[in-house]
C-alpha cells in the first residue's frame, strides 16, 4: 500500500489522472468520434478508456492492431464518458482494496489480536474494521463507537472498537474473502461520488475555459440568491452578484431520475425567478427518463448530455457577448404576504 493513504484519497488521485486522460482523448478524437492516431493510440490505458466507453469488456485487451477495428465496430453507439472512467477506476482500485484487506488481516492475525493503539495508528483501514465487526454505515459507526473516520479514530472509539472485537470473538469475524466482497459496496459508493464530483464537472470546466467564459465553482462563492432561499449552483457565470448563467451537473440513475428532476426543476425556478436574465443549464449523464427531461427542458434554457457541453459553453459565451437569443425562458415568481396590512410577513418582488 501507499503509506497510510485512505481508499478515498487513492481513488481521488486516480480519478484525477483518468479525467485528465479523458479530456486529452476528447481533443484527440474530435469529442470521441474517431480513434486517435500516433503515440496516444498505442497505450493500453487509452484503449481501455475508449473501448470501455463503447461497452467492450476491457479486462483482457486483444492485440493493439485490433483496437481501431473494435472501436469502428460500435461506431453507432454513443460514447459513455462515465462508463469509461468508472471501468478504469474500478480496475485501479481492485489491487489497492485487496492489499488493504490483506494488511488488516495479516497485522491482527485475522482480528484475533486487536489493540487500541493499532486501531488508532491504522485509521485508513477503518472500512475493513467496519465490515469485520459488522457495522455498515458511518451513522451506525458514530452511534456505536464515537468519533471515527478513515483519517482519524479517537482514543475512545479505538477502545470501543477493540472491546467489540473482543466481545464477538475472532471466530465471528467474516473470512477475508467475505470482507473483500463486502468492500465492493464501499468502492461503488466512492466511484459514484467521484464520477459526479470530478469527472463530469471537469468536462464543464474545460468547455468554459476553452470559450473564455468566466465562472465560479460551487466551493468558490457563498450562495446564489433565489426567490425562496439561497444556495449554490455547481457553476455560476460570471459570479453570484450579477449572474448571467448557472450550471448544474447531475448524474442520474434509473431509481432516482424523477427525484433528481424535481430537485433540479425547483432549483431553476428559484434562481430564474430571481435573476430574470440568467440562463439555466443542466448538464446530464446517466439514464434520465424522457418524461423527466421534457419537464426540465421547459424550465432550464439548455438540458444537454455531458458530451455536448462544449456547444452550450459556446452559447453562453455568445450570450455574454450580447446575443440575447440565447436566453430561452423567463420565469416570473413572486411571493407576497396574504395580509400586508397586518404587518405579518414581507413582500418579495425580485
Q: Is 221 left (phi over 0), alpha (psi -120 to 50) or beta?
A: beta
The position carrying cell 466481545 is 167
Q: What's 13's DSSP letter?
A: H
Where are the domains positioned within the chain? Answer: 7-172, 211-326
The position carrying cell 482480528 is 111
Query: What pLDDT shows up at residue 257?
Result: 54
Query: What pLDDT shows up at residue 180?
Result: 95
Instruction: Examine residue 189 and say whether the peptide bond preceding it is cis (omega within 30 degrees of 0).
Output: no
Under CATH, what is the fold of the domain 211-326? Trna Endonuclease; Chain: A, domain 1 (3.40.1350)
Instruction: Examine residue 120 and say whether the peptide bond preceding it is cis (omega within 30 degrees of 0).
Output: no
18-to-86, 89, 118, 122 alpha-carbon distances in Å: 9, 8, 34, 28
User: 312: closest CA among 278, 340, 281?
Assistant: 281
All cell numbers assigned to 317: 459565451
pLDDT 10s per residue in the chain (350 long)?
A: 456 899 999 999 999 999 999 988 988 898 898 999 888 888 999 999 999 999 999 999 999 999 999 999 999 998 888 899 999 999 999 999 999 999 999 999 999 999 999 999 999 999 999 999 988 888 888 898 999 999 999 999 999 999 999 999 989 999 999 999 999 999 998 998 898 778 888 889 999 999 999 999 999 999 999 998 899 999 999 999 999 999 998 866 555 556 667 888 888 999 999 999 999 999 987 667 788 888 889 899 999 988 788 899 999 999 999 999 999 988 887 778 888 776 555 445 44
Strands 152-153 and 148-149: antiparallel
Query: What pLDDT shows up at residue 258?
Result: 63
pTM of the model: 0.77
Query: What pLDDT shows up at residue 1?
Result: 47
Amino acid at each position: 500500500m501507499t503509506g497510510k493513504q485512505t481508499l478515498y484519497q487513492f481513488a481521488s488521485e486516480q480519478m484525477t489522472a483518468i479525467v485528465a486522460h479523458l479530456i486529452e482523448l476528447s481533443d484527440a478524437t474530435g469529442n470521441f468520434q474517431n480513434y486517435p492516431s500516433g503515440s496516444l493510440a498505442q497505450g493500453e490505458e487509452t484503449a481501455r478508456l475508449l473501448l470501455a466507453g463503447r461497452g467492450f469488456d476491457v479486462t483482457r485487451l486483444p492485440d493493439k492492431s485490433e483496437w481501431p477495428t473494435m472501436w469502428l465496430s460500435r461506431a453507432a453507439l454513443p460514447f459513455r464518458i462515465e462508463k469509461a472512467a468508472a471501468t478504469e477506476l474500478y480496475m485501479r482500485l481492485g489491487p489497492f482494496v485487496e492489499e488493504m484487506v490483506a494488511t488488516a488481516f495479516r497485522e491482527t492475525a485475522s482480528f484475533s489480536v486487536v489493540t487500541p493503539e493499532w486501531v488508532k495508528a491504522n485509521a485508513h483501514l477503518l472500512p475493513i474494521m467496519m465490515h469485520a465487526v459488522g457495522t455498515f454505515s458511518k451513522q451506525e459507526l458514530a452511534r456505536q463507537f464515537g468519533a471515527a473516520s478513515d483519517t482519524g479514530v479517537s482514543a475512545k472509539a479505538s477502545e470501543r472498537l477493540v472491546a467489540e472485537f473482543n466481545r464477538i470473538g475472532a471466530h465471528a469475524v467474516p473470512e477475508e474473502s467475505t470482507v473483500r466482497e463486502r468492500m465492493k459496496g464501499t468502492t461503488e459508493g466512492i466511484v459514484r461520488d467521484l464520477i459526479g464530483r470530478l469527472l463530469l464537472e471537469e468536462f464543464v470546466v474545460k468547455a468554459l475555459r476553452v470559450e473564455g467564459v468566466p465562472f465560479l465553482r460551487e466551493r468558490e462563492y457563498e450562495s446564489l440568491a433565489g426567490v425562496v432561499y439561497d444556495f449554490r449552483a455547481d457553476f455560476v457565470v460570471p459570479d453570484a452578484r450579477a449572474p448571467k448563467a448557472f450550471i448544474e451537473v447531475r448524474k442520474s440513475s434509473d431509481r432516482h431520475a424523477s427525484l433528481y428532476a424535481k430537485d433540479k426543476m425547483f432549483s431553476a425556478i428559484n434562481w430564474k425567478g430571481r435573476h430574470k436574465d440568467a440562463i439555466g443549464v443542466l448538464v446530464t449523464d446517466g439514464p434520465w427518463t424522457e418524461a423527466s427531461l421534457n419537464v426540465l427542458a421547459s424550465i432550464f434554457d439548455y438540458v444537454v448530455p455531458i458530451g455536448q457541453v462544449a456547444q452550450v459553453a459556446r452559447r453562453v459565451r455568445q450570450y455574454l457577448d450580447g446575443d440575447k437569443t440565447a436566453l430561452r425562458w423567463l420565469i416570473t415568481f413572486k411571493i407576497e404576504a396574504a395580509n400586508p396590512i397586518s404587518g405579518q410577513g414581507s413582500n418579495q418582488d425580485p
